[in-house]
Amino acid sequence: MDRRTLLTSVAVGAAVGVGAGMGYARVAGDGGESAQGPTARAGSRPAGSVVRLNMVTSWPKNMPGLGEAAERVAATASELSGGTLEIKVYAAGELVGAFEVFDAVATGAADLYHAADYYWQGKHPAYPFFTAVPFGMTALEQLAWIDYGGGAQLWEELGAQFGIVPMAAANTCHQTGGWFKRELSGLADLRGLKMRIPGIGGEMIRRLGGAAVAIPGGEIFQSLQSGVIDAAEFVGPWNDMGLGFYREAPFYYGPGLHEPGAILAVGVNKRVFDALSAEHQAILRASCRAVVNWSMGEFTWRNAEALRVLARDHGVRIRPFPDDIMAAAAAVSREIWAEAGATDAIGRRIYESFTTALGVLRPWTEGVEGRYYPLRQTFLETD
């Protein structure tokens, strides 16, 4: 199988979307750089022409895992294309702010972004289903829904409203519940608590009596230090340890009920994507999927290492959420899910697809894998 055929096959399985938008891909060929118009067709590029794209991200520069995922998409695309698809990656704040990348791509000011799509909840309430929702799917379940349960098609349709072509481009796997300055004894301790937490998880905290604050990852430590917030969640032990959250908030709670799996996304301007050759489209899709595979192993391993270091070397006090917080969080999350699905026709279909897929997956994931973990614990603890 030659490279073109292989890439096309991988891309078909990568489950990515199409939409409508504006903007141009920058192309450099023998005659120098030129802008390809919005009517350029896939596969219409001259053989050997070099395409240069700008990617804006929501991550601090060189951030492990998150920023690296964006860089790996770019590096993989360059390698697979033999250098004919070049993507320059910009950290949050270098071209636009962390939460401005969606608009930059939708308007054509940038070509593609790497971010978490639940940041765009203000654009449409159903966007969090394509990153994470409380008590929702794990990373593997998300992949199953996106690739085989109809999730990709709905994601594409939602993105089309904004001129964005979405594709999964990493997964942090199970995240942790967050860092708290004070120990939690029960639900009453959340009242008035200011917490950095985005997406539907933020709405969950608001309904439990707290105040959800939207802060980019690079500003969380300073906000904890200054008292702007009392608690914060970001990703997991690996990223959180590197950002030093434990120095200001020594209580680390879990599980991460708000994000049992978290898809990170590449969103491409529709006209830029359509102007790419068929091979470059396939390469971009394959590069994103490769990073999904890389990220799941990386996050799992690095989080396990970091959690041990946090407890052993930094005195972090790891706690489970009190039972009444878990119960109340589940109750309000059901309401929030349903409300997100009641906004319009596409929101309803996303909600129905998500809940149907979860119903299909649960007997397998909970009935097989879920029952395996306590059995393994018994085995390992037996002399």
Measure the CA–CA gap between 202 and 194, rounded to whole angstroms. 10
Task: Provide the domain count of the chain.
Answer: 1
What are 217-270's pLDDT values in tens digits?
999 999 999 999 999 999 999 999 999 999 999 999 999 999 999 999 999 999
Sign of the CA dihedral running 17, 18, 22, 26: positive
- Pick the residue with more confidence: 2 or 262? 262
Asked, for residue 138, whether it belongs to a domain, the answer is: yes
What is the bridge-based pairing of β-strands 231-232 and 251-254? unpaired
**Percentage of the chain modeled with pLDDT above 70:** 87
Residue 5 has pLDDT above 50, yes or no: no
Asked, for residue 372, whether it belongs to a domain, the answer is: no
- Say how many C-beta atoms besides its own lie within 10 A of residue 266's C-beta: 28
What is the bridge-based pairing of β-strands 178-180 and 251-254? antiparallel
List, as one string, the DSSP characters of 168-209.
EEEE--SPP-EEESS---SGGGGTT-EEE--HHHHHHHHHTT
Q: What tokens appear for 301 in the block?
A: 């391993």
Asked, for residue 188, whether it belongs to a domain, the answer is: no
Asked, for residue 203, whether it belongs to a domain, the answer is: no
Instruction: Find the domain containing 154 and state its range.
Output: 3-170+262-300
pLDDT-derived band of residue 206, with 50, 70 and 90 as boundaries?
A: very high
Question: Domain with 68 in it: what CATH number?
Answer: 3.40.190.170
What are 298-355's pLDDT values in tens digits?
999 999 999 999 999 999 999 999 999 999 999 999 999 999 999 999 999 999 999 9
Asked, for residue 111, whether it belongs to a domain, the answer is: yes
Residue 37 has pLDDT above 70, yes or no: no
Measure the CA–CA gap between 16 and 371, rounded to whole angstroms. 33
Average pLDDT, the chain: 89
Q: What tokens appear for 119 in the block?
A: 């940041």
Asked, for residue 332, whether it belongs to a domain, the answer is: no
Asked, for residue 40, whether it belongs to a domain, the answer is: yes
Asked, for residue 233, whether it belongs to a domain, the answer is: no
Q: What confidence score (pLDDT) does residue 382 get? A: 80
